[in-house]
């Protein structure tokens, strides 16, 4: 049975495993369903399997969840989990309760966008109008991040290793176990620690497994703009929602905020977004972290409108989550500045929402996941 991580095996890999082990093929599907659909974390409880197989699996392919080393609950109901992986690496995942009166696509919208004219801001509830989801889980794909976006705490703490598909799914299961949730009403976003598009070896099989459990429309992968990987993910037979962390509409500001722009320039990223295949009623989510005095002027909004012209996008404006320890130089814009920025986009008929960051008091909001607690000022002394 060897080195295989049971959380990371796709249904076809489980079936191949069963055949290899001299078992009927359907045993593989039974194992996949028990682990991922029923959330069984102990082979002993899989009574549909022969006892000898359960014992052998427990000895040779143990089901290991990451250890929960920290829980930070926020007043809004979100919980950030610190998780220790088998090799000791620390990651963070966030549980965010949904508002059952809102639709899936609308979960991050706040009252500010809703207060603008509905004729100007096309509602993102254009789907079925169903009152799901009930919760979202934000996953990490790496144990750090080498992309080093200037506004991101994870980036400030430096690079890490890729998570395997098994570690990604075990991370998800750990959060479901901790919060006593099943799969119903679940959305998954890869917006935690790391750049998912720098880890296709882990993220693509993880998506294949996730798509067995939830619709691809309920899974979103966010990238800083690793242009060649956008094409790789675009070619998948089933695609998640694409989110692009854009944050600036001109190359100079984007390079300042996201040095990755030097490697993958803005025009190439826009071309990759245009080439992303969109099924009906799907859009690309453009994330725009709004930072006082950096990218929050009305001219920035107008430039953004011009840049996105012709693309099916929804812009998610995310006023910076300030972090005086890790990001002392960046500030959140004043409320009237945020309002003006959003209004300029809405006037140009761009669908725009303002993300109500879930869990800022638990440092669980976008760009605040760290996994480690090191003082970034020490890195400054070594030249970074």
* DSSP-derived secondary structure letter, 164: P
Active site residue 152: no
> For the packed helices 227-234 and 266-275, what is the interaxial angle rounded to 10 degrees?
0
Give the footprint of ligand SF4 on this chain (CB under 6 A): 145, 147-149, 152, 154-155, 193-195, 224, 245, 367
Active site residue 366: yes
Residue nearest to ligand SF4 (CB): 155
- Say how far apart CA 322 and CA 234 lie, in whole Å: 34
The residue (of 145 and 343) whose beta carbon lies closer to ligand SF4 is: 145
The residue (of 185 and 194) whose beta carbon lies closer to ligand SF4 is: 194
State the minimum distance, in angstroms, from the CB of residue 34 to ligand SF4.
33
The residue (of 194 and 202) whose beta carbon lies closer to ligand SF4 is: 194
State the minimum distance, in angstroms, from the CB of residue 339 to ligand SF4.
25
H helices of the chain, where? 11-20, 26-32, 51-60, 111-115, 153-156, 165-179, 200-213, 227-234, 251-257, 260-263, 266-275, 298-308, 335-347, 376-381
State the minimum distance, in angstroms, from the CB of residue 246 to ligand SF4.
11
Q: How many CB atoms lie within 10 A of CB 63?
A: 18
User: What's the start-to-end Cα distance of the chain, in Å?
Assistant: 44
The residue (of 103 and 222) whose beta carbon lies closer to ligand SF4 is: 222
Torsion of CA 279, 240, 222, 290, to 10 degrees: 40
Please name every residue paired with 91 in a beta bridge, in sequence order, or none if there are none: 83
State the minimum distance, in angstroms, from the CB of residue 129 to ligand SF4.
32
- Say how far apart CA 70 and CA 173 lie, in whole Å: 16
State the minimum distance, in angstroms, from the CB of residue 163 to ligand SF4.
13
- Say how far apart CA 101 and CA 53 lie, in whole Å: 45
The residue (of 6 and 359) whose beta carbon lies closer to ligand SF4 is: 359
Q: How many helices (H) and strands (E) does the chain have?
A: 14, 10
The residue (of 155 and 166) whose beta carbon lies closer to ligand SF4 is: 155
Residue with tokens 């509905």: 118
Report the candidate in 199, 180, 196 with the shortest Cα–Cα distance to residue 97: 180
State the minimum distance, in angstroms, from the CB of residue 224 to ligand SF4.
4
Q: Which residue among 92, 167, 195, 287 is the active-site one?
A: 92
Bridge pairing between strands 135-138 and 90-97 = antiparallel
Q: Which residue among 138, 149, 152, 366 is the active-site one?
A: 366
Residues taking part in catalysis: 92, 366
């Amino acid at each position: 049975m060897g080195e295989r991580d049971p959380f990371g095996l796709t249904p076809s890999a489980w079936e191949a495993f069963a055949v290899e082990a001299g078992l009927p093929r359907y045993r593989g599907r039974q194992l996949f369903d028990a682990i991922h659909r029923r959330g069984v974390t102990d082979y002993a409880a899989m009574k549909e399997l022969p006892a000898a197989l359960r014992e052998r699996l427990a000895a040779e392919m143990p089901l290991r969840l990451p250890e929960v080393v920290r829980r930070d609950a926020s007043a809004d109901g979100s919980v950030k989990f610190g998780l220790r992986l088998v090799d000791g690496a620390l990651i963070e995942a966030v549980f965010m309760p949904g508002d059952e009166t809102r639709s899936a696509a609308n979960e991050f919208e706040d009252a500010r966008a809703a207060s603008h004219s509905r004729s100007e801001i096309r509602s993102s509830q254009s789907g079925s109008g169903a009152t799901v989801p009930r919760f979202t889980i934000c996953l990490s794909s790496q144990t750090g991040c080498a992309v080093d976006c200037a506004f991101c705490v994870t980036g400030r703490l430096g690079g890490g290793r890729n998570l395997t598909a098994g570690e990604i799914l075990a991370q998800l299961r750990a959060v479901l176990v901790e919060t006593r949730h099943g799969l119903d009403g679940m959305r998954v976003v890869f917006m935690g620690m790391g750049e998912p598009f720098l880890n296709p070896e882990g993220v693509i099989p993880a998506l294949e497994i996730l798509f067995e459990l939830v619709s691809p429309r309920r899974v979103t992968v966010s990238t800083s703009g690793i242009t060649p990987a956008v094409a790789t993910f675009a070619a998948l037979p089933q695609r998640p929602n694409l989110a692009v962390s854009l944050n600036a509409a001109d190359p100079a500001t984007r390079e300042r905020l996201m040095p990755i722009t030097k490697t993958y320039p803005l025009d190439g990223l826009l071309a990759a977004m245009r080439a992303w295949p969109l099924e009906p009623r799907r859009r690309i989510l453009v994330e725009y972290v709004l930072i006082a005095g950096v990218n929050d002027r009305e001219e920035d909004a107008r430039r953004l409108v011009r840049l996105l012209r012709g693309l099916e996008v929804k812009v998610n404006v995310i006023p910076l989550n300030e972090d005086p320890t890790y990001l002392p130089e960046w500030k959140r814009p004043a409320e009237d500045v945020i309002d003006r920025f959003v209004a300029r986009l809405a006037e140009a008929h761009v669908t725009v929402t303002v993300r109500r960051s879930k869990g800022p008091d638990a440092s669980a909001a976008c760009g605040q996941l760290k996994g480690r607690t090191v003082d970034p000022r020490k890195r400054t002394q070594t030249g970074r």
